[in-house]
Amino acid sequence: KFYHTVPQLWVLYFGMTRASCKGLICCPISQKIMPIHSHLVVNISGSGADCMLWERILTCEMRLYQLRHRKRLSVNGAAKLLSMMLHPFKDQNTKNVLSTFGGRSGPRVCYVCSDGLQLKGEMISVGSGSPYAYAVLDDGWRWGMTVDEAVALAREAVFRATHWDAYSGNNVDLFHITAHGWRRRDREDLKEDRQYNAFFQINICNHRLNKLDFP
């Protein structure tokens, strides 16, 4: 999964749909990215059933907060609330990434683990394929990227993760969050995109050649 913020004030969400149970693939088309409201999206990783339960509870709590205070809870508040709810259940192995676009706060990305850990970042990847995704993201990420450039980089990272990790794959969901709310793109399957694989290999070769210093 890939989450990215840039100075143009938007957040990009990539999530794979393969759900596994130990050594078995349970569902190839699971929904791991769950919208909480029009400007907040949560991605789940780990124990899928437990994650979905806590996301439903978080949705109810945030709706109650909005009704009581007539304003939405910030992503930092939502992350703290989710962390406090998950802390008594440390053994559930649930990992969540919350992304939103607040009015004055702008785009925010927060990572919450079942042990109570909270992290804020500009680029976060979670799941079993994260090490392979980070290998691509660390090499290609930079400030000032356009939406198309960020989408291309995220597709490369997800494609590498699905290629090397057995528990990552099948379809890919993409959410684009701006000041107007989140927008979902069509679901796609990168493993069947052979033309993209060839394009990826060419880009990697060109990128490595450009880094070489010839006399």
Give the CATH number, domain containing residue 162. Answer: 3.60.20.10
Pick from 175, 197, 186: nearest CA to 98:
175
Residue in the structure block whose two tokens are 């053994």: 91
pTM for this structure? 0.74
| Residue span of the structural domain in which 117 resides | 2-211
- Which of the pair, 182 or 26, is modelled with greater confidence? 182
Residue 98 Cα distances to 102, 111, 181, 211, angstroms: 12, 6, 14, 35
User: What pLDDT, on a 0 to 100 scale, did the predictor assign at position 200?
Assistant: 56
Query: Is residue 82's pLDDT more than 70?
Result: yes
pLDDT bracket for residue 11 (50, 70, 90):
confident
The residue with greater pLDDT, 106 or 65, is 65
- The mean predicted confidence, pLDDT, of the chain is 77
Round to whole Å and give the CA distance between 129 and 182. 25
- Please state, in angstroms and as integers, the Cα–Cα distance from residue 200 to each residue in 85, 167, 189, 204, following that order: 42, 22, 15, 6
pLDDT score, position 199 = 56
pLDDT for 6: 45
Residue 93 in this model has a pLDDT that exceeds 50:
yes
Q: How large is the average pLDDT for residues 146-151?
A: 84
pLDDT at 190 over 70: no
Looking at the DSSP bridge assignments, the partners of residue 107 are: 101
Task: State the total domains in the chain.
Answer: 1
- Encode pLDDT of 38-47 as tens digits: 888 888 777 7
Question: Rounded to 5, what percent of the chain is helix, strand, coil?
Answer: 40, 30, 30
Of 53, 109, 104, give the one whose Cα is nearest residue 78.
109
- CB atoms < 10 A from the CB of 49, how many? 13
Burial 91-127 (b: 16+ CB within 10 A, else e): ebebbbbbbbbbeeeebbbbbbbbeeeeeeeebbbbb
